[in-house]
Amino acid sequence: MGFLVLLLFSLLGLSSSSSISTHRSILDLDLTKFTTQKQVSSLFQLWKSEHGRVYHNHEEEAKRLEIFKNNLNYIRDMNANRKSPHSHRLGLNKFADITPQEFSKKYLQAPKDVSQQIKMANKKMKKEQYSCDHPPASWDWRKKGVITQVKYQGGCGSGWAFSATGAIEAAHAIATGDLVSLSEQELVDCVEESEGCYNGWHYQSFEWVLEHGGIATDDDYPYRAKEGRCKANKIQDKVTIDGYETLIMSDESTESETEQAFLSAILEQPISVSIDAKDFHLYTGGIYDGENCTSPYGINHFVLLVGYGSADGVDYWIAKNSWGEDWGEDGYIWIQRNTGNLLGVCGMNYFASYPTKEESETLVSARVKGHRRVDHSPL
């Protein structure tokens, strides 16, 4: 790695004492300086080394280099037009050698009609879900100890399962004080409507967990990134939920009402949302505004909202993704809120869902005595 960085210094006319050090990520480099074929090729070699990428033959490597160059040009163009320092940034992340089409095929579902699923869910938003009086300026469930580490779904469009388990993990931790990682693989294998990796929904996961008496832990039913035979009946110890709710935008909904419903829900627990994520491909940080979404009605992915905040007057949601900690903001993406768009960024306001679980008697008793295993106080 050090030799490759020194080679880049030489190609860019920098000294070895430059501010770019050999231990910094390729994401820290100024990509506007890489303009010649030789510089881009050396940058590609550095990227390969950082991500441990090895190709089958020279033809495949040449193909990936060409895709890398196209992505590099796109990144430079998009970053040059950022509206503010807080606007989202693109970078040469671990997906930089695949095309947008390859990315969608491997990590997303085929676009799905949200309106059809809303009819199938057949659950209406409760009127009280629209109200949220005096919410705190920011909220982050990660700081409350109820969010598991970011996971990696691999080459399986199972974001729906990860978003669902994340919501159940959090609800269980809030209710019992115990944080446990749950099995996405059980949902991929056993939720028949999902057809394995690529056709699941958050609410279907919650329905399945309710109907089958709970969900296995990740230790008991580990993830394999592909559909297999359902083994739910072999698992004894399961995490249960009491029900689930939906946040569904109707024809009568206003953007303000929907945002208030999301705020009200997220102050109680993290929530699973559907979204068009095609443009997440090269995201590395900042507040994502969704201007390049292909279709807010064509849902293809699910993320878990774990909180919200603001930066210089720009409001955002904090969303946990399932593409590993080396994507985005340590595995998370900040998505702009209060945009004035009824559908929200990339359709995320359209259809959200979350499980419900009553607090255990032990936790209620502990709170009465003044002890809390999960801190519910504002940040």
Residue 320 binned pLDDT confidence (cut-offs 50, 70, 90): very high
pLDDT of residue 367: 42
Q: Of residues 236 and 376, which shows the higher confidence score?
A: 236
Phi, psi of 195 (to 5 degrees): 55, 40
**Hey, what are 118's tokens?**
């809303």
Residue 199 binned pLDDT confidence (cut-offs 50, 70, 90): confident
Task: Tell me the angle at which helices 37-51 and 58-80 cross, rounded to the nearest 10 degrees.
Answer: 100
pLDDT of residue 370: 39
- 296, burial (CB in 10 Å: exposed 0-12, middle 13-18, buried 19+): buried
Q: Of residues 152 and 368, which shows the higher confidence score?
A: 152
| Backbone region of residue 92 per phi and psi (left: phi > 0; alpha: psi in -120 to 50; beta: other values) | beta
Report the alpha-carbon distance of residue 58 to residue 46 in Å, rounded: 17
**Hey, what are 107's tokens?**
């990590």
DSSP structural state of residue 161: H
Report the alpha-carbon distance of residue 258 to residue 350 in Å, rounded: 9
Report the alpha-carbon distance of residue 316 to residue 287 in Å, rounded: 7
Least Cα distance to 130 among 259, 40, 11, 36 occurs for 259
Kindly list the catalytic residues: 301, 321
Question: Is residue 115 scored above 70 in pLDDT?
Answer: no
Residue 201 binned pLDDT confidence (cut-offs 50, 70, 90): very high
Which CATH code fits 105-368? 3.90.70.10
Q: Average pLDDT in the 176-197 region? A: 95
**Hey, what are 108's tokens?**
């997303």
Q: Is residue 323 within 8 Å of residue 108, measured between CB atoms?
A: no
Least Cα distance to 92 among 30, 36, 153 occurs for 30
**pLDDT tens sequence across 117-134:** 555 554 555 544 445 678
Alpha helix (H) residue ranges in 222-276? 255-266
Domain with CATH 3.90.70.10 in the chain: 105-368
Report the alpha-carbon distance of residue 63 to residue 71 in Å, rounded: 13
Report the alpha-carbon distance of residue 360 to residue 347 in Å, rounded: 35
Residue 376 binned pLDDT confidence (cut-offs 50, 70, 90): very low
Place of tokens 């709710």: 245
Q: Is 244 helix (H, G, I), strand (E, B) or coil?
A: strand
Q: Average pLDDT in the 299-318 region? A: 97
Single-letter amino acid, residue 283:
Y
Residue 365 binned pLDDT confidence (cut-offs 50, 70, 90): very low
pLDDT of residue 131: 57
CA 105 remoteness from chain centre: 17
Mean pLDDT computed over every residue of the chain:
87
